[in-house]
A and B are shown apart, each in its own frame.
Chain A
Amino acid sequence: MLNVMIVDDSKIITRTLSKNFETMGFNVVGIAMNGQDAIEMFKKLKPDLVTMDITMPVMNGIEALQHIREFDEKARIVMVTSHGEEKLVMDAISFGAKGYILKPITPLKIKQAIQKTFPKIANEIEENYLSTTLTY
C-alpha cells in the first residue's frame, strides 16, 4: 500500500490525517512538524505521497514543496489548506503540487484528493473508503 508522509505543525491535523490514512489502509511513515524537517524526512523516507500544510514555522509548505520537487520531480504532494488560502494553493499547484485538501478534513475529501493524485488506484481506495465510512 502507499507510504504517506504528513507535514503539519498542528497535532490535531496530523492526528486526524494519520487516523484517516490508516483506516483507508495506507502506511503513515513519517510526520514532520515544519518544512525544513519535511525535506530531510522526504529524502530519507521517499514516501509515495506527502500531505503538506502551507503555513508552518521555520519553512512554509510552498518552499518545502519546491525543495522536494527539486530533489525528486515526481514527488506527489497534496496541500492541506483552509479557505482563504486559495491563492497560495494556486502557487503550490504551479510549483507542482498534485492536489489539495480543504479543511475541515473529512474522509471523503482525503479520498477525492488521493483519487486525483493516483487515478490508477482509485478503485482500491473506493473499497477502503467504503469500509471507512461504514465504521465511522
Chain B
Amino acid sequence: MHKLLKLFHTTYHPKLIDAMIKANFSGAILVNIFIPIIIFYLFHESIPLGQLEIWSTAQFLIFTLRLALQKKIKDNINIQFVLLSFTSFLYAILSWEALLYADDTHLLLVAMIIASIVAGSIATIVSVYHIFFAFVLIQMLGLISAFLAKGEDIFFLSALLASSFLHLVLKNGYKQYLNMKETLALNKQVKNLLDNTGDGFLSFDKHLKCQDGFSSECTRIFETKEIKDRDITELLFKDDSYEKEIFVEAIERSLKADNSFQIDMFLSLIPQDIKIRNLVISLECKRHSDAYFILILRDVTDKKRLEFKLEHQHKVQRLLVNVASNKNDFIDLKNDFEQLLKILYTPSDSSASSISKIKKELHTFKGNFSQKGMIYISKYIHELELKVQHLSSEEEIISTYQTSDLREIFDKDIAVIDSALGEEFLNSTESISVNIEEISAIEFELKSFVYKFNLEQQIALNTILSDIHKLKNIPLREMLTPYITYVERLSKKLDKEVLPLVIIGDESLKVSPRLKNFMKQLVHVFNNSIDHGIETIEEREESKKDPFAKIVCKYRLNSEILVLEISDDGKGINTKNLASQAQESAMKSTQELNTMSEEELCSLVFQEKLSTKGNVDFISGIGIGLASLYSELKELHGNVSIQNHPGEGVTFTFFIPLHTSKNQNLFYEGASSQKSQTILATIITQSELFIKKSLGIIVSTNRTLEISDTNLHVAQIQFSKDFTGKVILIYSGNILQAFSEYMLPDGFEEEEREEIYQDVAKETINTIVGLSLQYFDKSIDEVEISPPLENSPEELLHIIQTKELRSIATIETSQGTLGIIVLNEDA
C-alpha cells in the first residue's frame, strides 16, 4: 500500500489530479490513472517493472499534453479531434508495446487501454448522458475480453476493477446528470428572462456566425426563427452598406485589441441605430469571451418616431411663429418665389447669364427660407444645388431645375402653414392688426361730424359706420378651433378613441364678440358627447361600429340666424333614463312624461335639477353644464333642437339670431328703414353735440342698447306725416342729473328732484329732436312732432320687445348713458 501511495504521489501530483478531474474527463482519467496503478500493485512481480513504469510515465505525459492543449483549444472541436487522433495514435503505440509481451495480463491491459481511448474520445465529444452508457459498455467489453483470456485471476481482477469503476462512473454520471438538469433549468429560466425583457439578445462567434440561443424578440425583429448559424451582418444590414463595413471592422479590430478598454472602444463604434425593414433598432455589442460576442438589439422605433414627431412639431412651431409674426414679409417672399418658379418652368433662354441669375436667386431663397424655418424647401434647394454643381452644360442645368420638385416641395411647406393658420391666412391680401380701441376711435370721429352732411351722405356714412363696427367681429372659426385640441385631450383622458374634431363651415364668417360666452359653454356638449355618448372601443366593436368615434361641428348662416350643429356617433341619449330621472325628482308627472315627444324628452337634458342626481348613464354630470349652456343660449334669444338616434348618435342643433340682444336689457337693431336710420343718425349726432356742449364731456356711441335700471328715465316724441314713428331717449346713470345741473345752474330742492328730472328729460328730447329736424334729408321733408311724453321703464321694455322695426344706439359718457331708439311705425 505504501508503495502504491508513493508511486501515486511521485507520478501524479495532487494538483494535477484535481485539474484533471476538473477538466471533466473524470471517466477517462480514472481509467488512465488507476488501472496502471492497480495492475502495478497486483502484478508488479510478474510484470517487468521497467516496462510498466515506462508505460505509465508515457501515458502520463501524453495525458498531460492532451489536457494542457485541450484547455487552450476547448472551443474548437476540429482541433480537438486532431488532438484526440494524435493521442490515440500514441496510445496505440503503447498498446503495441504491451502486446509484445503476449500474455493474458498484457492482453487485458491492451483491452483496457483501447477501452480508455474510446471512452476518452467519447467523453470529449459527446454529451454526458452518453458517456455513462459508453463506460458501461466498455466495462462489459473489458469483462468479456478478460473472460476470453481464460485466466480466472485475471477475470476476477477485471470484475473487481469493473465494479469499482462502474461505481465511480455511476456516481459521476449521476452527478453530471443532476448538474445538467440544473443547468438546463437555469438556461430555461435565463431564456425566459431574456424573452421577457423585450430586448433581443443573441450571440455570435468571431466568424460572425449566430449561435443557438437567442431571445424571442430577435425572431420578431428579424422576422425569422432561423437565426442559428446565419451571418449576423446578413441579418442586420443591407449588402455593401457602410454600416456593415463598420460593424465587421469593429468586430475584427476588437478581436485583435490589446486590452478591454480598446475592445469597448471599438465595439462602441458599431452603428448605434440601424434600420431593419421599417424598424429602428439600437445595437449594443459586448465581447463575452475570446471568441464570442453578445449583441443586444433594442427596438427604438416608437421612441425615434416620437422624437421625430416632436422635432417636427418644434420646427412647425418655429415656422408658424416666423410666418405669423411677419406675415407680409412672408407673403412677399412666397410671391417672389412663385414668380421664379414660373420663370423656371416656362421654356426660355438658357443662356449662361440667365442661369447664373437663377442660381443666385435660388441660393438667396434657400437662405431666406431657412431663416423662416421652412421645413422642406430650403433643404431641397440645397440638394438641388449640390446636384447642379457638377453639371457644366446650361441645358442640363435648366432641365435639372425644370424636372425638379421645387414646386411640390414648396407646396408641402405652404400646406403646413395652411393647415395650422387656415388657407385664408396666406391667400388673403395683406393685413395689419388693428386695436379695437382704434376702430372705436374712428367710429367716434366719424359720428362726430355726420351731422355736417346732408341726409343722403349721412346714410352713406352710416353704412360705412356699420361696416367699421363689423370690424370688431370675430371669426366664428376662431372661437371653435380650440375645441379640436380639447376633444383630443379629453378623449385621451377618458380613454375613448375619437377622431380629430371636424369643423365645417365658412371660414370667413365673423360674428359679434357677444357670442363668445355661448361658444365657451359649448364645452359641455363636447364633454357629454365624449364622456357619455361615445362608447369605449370595445363597446363600439361589439355593436359593429367604426372603432373610432366621430364628432362633427357644422355651422352655416341662415338669413341672419347662425345654425350650429354638433353631432356625434355615440350611443345617443337614453330618454327612458331621463324620463325616470325626471319622475324621481318629481319634476314631471308620469302623465306629462307620457304625452311628451321624443325630442321633448331629450330636451330634459337642459334641466338643471336632473343633473344633481348624479346617476350613472347619460345623465350623470350633465345638468349644470348643459343647463348653463341653455341659459346662455336663451340670453342670445337662441333655440336648440336635439335629433336623437339611440345607438347611432345625437345631434344638437343651435339656432342663434345674430342680431338679438345678449340679455333682457341689451337690444340690437331690428330691421330698420332708411328713414329711421337717417333719423337715428341725425339724432345721434345732435345728441353727441348737445352732450359735449352742455356737459363738456367725452362720449362714445355704439349701436346697441343696454338698459340698466339705475335712475332710468324715458322720454319720447311721436313723429307723423312723412315718417310715422317714435324717437325715444333713455336716460340712465347720472346723465339726467348732469343735464339738470346744466339747465338749472342755481340748483333745486331735493323734493323737487323727481319732477325736475321728468321735465329735464322731456326738455332734452325736445331740444335734440328739434335740432335734428333741420338735418333730415328730403325723404323726410315734412314731419310733425308731438310734444314730449314721458314713459315708465316697463312701457319702454314693452315697446322695444314688441316693435321689431327699430334703430338703436347708446351714447356712453362718464356721467351715464343716453339710449336712443327710433321706432318705425310706417307699416
Collect the chain B residues with CB atoms within 8 Å of residue A86's CB.
Answer: 246, 249-250, 269
Q: A98 to B261: give the CA distance in the assembly, Å.
A: 8
Which parts of B243-268 form the interface with A (CB within 8 Å)? 245-246, 249-250, 253, 257, 261-262, 265-266
* Residue A90 lies at the interface, judged by CB distance under 8 Å to chain B: yes
Which of A87, A94, A100 makes the CB contact (< 8 A) with B246? Answer: A87
B242 and A90 contact, CB distance less than 8 A: no
A-B contact count (CB 8 A): 26
Interface of A is mostly: helix
The minimal Cβ–Cβ distance linking B755 to chain A, given in whole angstroms, is: 77
Q: How far is the CB of A62 from chain B (nearest CB, A)?
A: 14
| Nearest B residue (CB) for A97 | B265
Q: Which of A48-95 contact B (CB under 8 A)?
A: 84, 86-87, 89-90, 93-94
Note all chain B residues with C-beta closer than 8 A to A107: none
Q: Do B262 and A84 touch across chains, with their CB atoms under 8 A apart?
A: no
In the bound complex, CA of A99 to CA of B262 (Å) = 9
Contacts of A90 in B (CB 8 A): 249-250, 253, 266, 269
Contact A93 B246 (CB under 8 A): no
Q: A94 near B269 (CB under 8 angstroms)?
A: no
- Interchain CB contact under 8 A, A93 and B249: no
The 24 sampled A-B contact pairs (Cβ below 8 Å) are A84-B242, A86-B246, A86-B249, A86-B250, A86-B269, A87-B245, A87-B246, A87-B249, A90-B249, A90-B250, A90-B253, A90-B266, A90-B269, A93-B253, A93-B262, A93-B266, A94-B253, A94-B257, A94-B262, A97-B265, A98-B261, A99-B265, A100-B265, A100-B269
| Distance A93 CA – B249 CA, assembled complex (angstroms) | 13
CB A74 to nearest CB in B, in angstroms, measures 14
Most buried by A among B245, B250, B253, B269: B269
Residue of A nearest to B264 (CB): A116
Size class of the contact patch on chain B: 10 to 19
Q: Which residues of A contact B266 (CB under 8 A)?
A: 90, 93
B265: chain A residues at CB < 8 Å are: 93, 97, 99-100
Most chain A beta-carbon contacts within 10 A, residue among B245, B253, B265: B265
Chain A residues whose CB sits within 8 angstroms of the CB of B257 once the complex forms: 94
Q: What is the CA–CA distance of A86 and B257 in the complex, to the nearest angstrom? A: 16
Write out the residue numbers on chain A whose beta carbons fall within 8 Å of the beta carbon of B269. Answer: 86, 89-90, 100
Known interface pairs A90-B253, A94-B262; 10 further A-B residue pairs with C-beta atoms within 8 A, sorted by A's residue number: A84-B242, A86-B246, A86-B249, A86-B269, A90-B249, A93-B266, A94-B257, A97-B265, A99-B265, A100-B269
- Interchain residue pairs A-B with the least CB separation, the first 9: A86-B246, A93-B265, A86-B269, A90-B253, A93-B262, A89-B269, A90-B266, A87-B249, A90-B249
Name the residue of chain A whose CB is nearest to the CB of B272: A102
Please indicate the chain B residues that have their CB under 8 angstroms from the CB of A97 in the complex.
Answer: 265
Interfacial chain A residues near B245, Cβ < 8 Å:
87
A100 to B269, CA, bound (A): 9
A89–B253 CA distance with the chains assembled, in angstroms: 11
With CB as the reference atom, state the residue of chain A lying closest to B246: A86
B residues less than 8 Å from A84 (CB atoms)? 242
A79–B815 Cα gap in the complex (Å)? 80
Distance in angstroms from A102 CB to nearest chain B CB is 9
Q: How far is it, in angstroms, between the C-alpha of A97 and the C-alpha of B249 when the chains are bound? A: 17
Instruction: Report the separation of the CA atoms of residues A97 and B269 in the bound assembly, to the nearest whole angstrom.
Output: 13
Mark B212-246 against chain A: 1 for CB-CB distance below 8 A, else 0.
Answer: 00000000000000000000000000000010011
